[in-house]
Amino acid sequence: LIDNKEVVALVGSGSLLDCAVNATTYKRKGVLSVQGLGVDAACFNAPSVAPVNVGPYTLSTAMAYYATNQLKAEKVCGFFIIIGGTQEAYKGAIETWEKITGKKIHLLDMTLPFQGDLTPYVIKARDAGCDAVIQNAVEPGVVQWVKTADAQKITGINWLFLAPGYTQEVAKALADSTQPVYVGTEWEPFTETGSAANKDWIATMTAAGKPLTAFSQGGYLAATVMLDVLSGIDGEVTRESVTEALLKMQPKSYELAGTPYVFGEGERHAPMQATKVMKLDKGTWTVETPDWVVLPSAN
């Protein structure tokens, strides 16, 4: 695609490794990527990529901030699965939370396995006296963690997960659990089908016969951003004119997101700095924060 001169930009990519592998190539080729779902750390640390999602690192900071600011947690602990070069990014996320709040992480464990017995980790959180735990597993790991806490009859700990845990499947699987389970969203909660912010996205997905998922919100928002950028170009639409328009664009607010999106000329891009927190209630996700939880600056 980037060798095709008629390709003016990349829009809506979902990346586990795309940014780490390709971001420098995009820069060399003079093509920019408006990521729909950036996951690997390079997506938020490259001049050629600017995701429309919050991402796991900023979201880790935001959930820790929510734990201390609204749940009034005193002993926040973090348990993280490390894939590839993400350790530094997760460590940085916790350090950012420490700068914002003036607090110190009570326990930070970066040895969480992608698969395997989670009992030792859940017990470790209990024995350390954690009153809130941030954890970055995807769907199966979220379910396993909470079921393990149930099996150990653990009480008094708030369990906070990132956006991959926010699915209907997780809600159904944990319908019988009484554990306090929270997840952070990257956009307006997709389960809120009556939300005005979701109206156009829902209409678009319904017309296309596509399921309503958070992932599709990312694709939709990336496309919307690009349409806005293209419509603002006076003259021929080329790779050069689109690149210039993205670099020179002003921040623009979208109802789906809690902070304005901007690509801009920076060496790194993480424009999305807000989440809405959902809480599990007998198999249903309920909105815990009707207003966006917006991260204050750590500076």
Q: Tens digit of pLDDT for each residue in 189-215?
A: 999 999 999 999 999 999 999 999 999
pTM for the predicted model, two decimal places:
0.96
Band (pLDDT 50/70/90 cuts) for residue 80 is: very high
Asked if residue 49 has pLDDT above 90, the reply is yes
Asked if residue 297 has pLDDT above 90, the reply is no
State the chain's mean pLDDT as an integer: 96
Q: Is 27 buried (19+), middle (13-18) or exposed (0-12) by CB count in 10 A?
A: middle
Q: Which residue has the tokens 């999106």?
A: 261
Asked if residue 299 has pLDDT above 80, the reply is no
pLDDT over 90 for what percent of the chain? 96
* Section 162-182 average pLDDT: 97
Q: How many CA atoms lie within 13 A of 1 on its CB side?
A: 12
pLDDT in tens, 217-267: 999 999 999 999 999 999 999 999 999 999 999 999 999 999 999 999 999
Q: Which residue has the tokens 């307006």?
A: 188
* Section 84-90 average pLDDT: 92
How far is C-alpha 6 from the chain's CA centre?
A: 31
The per-residue pLDDT for 236 is: 97
* Section 45-53 average pLDDT: 97
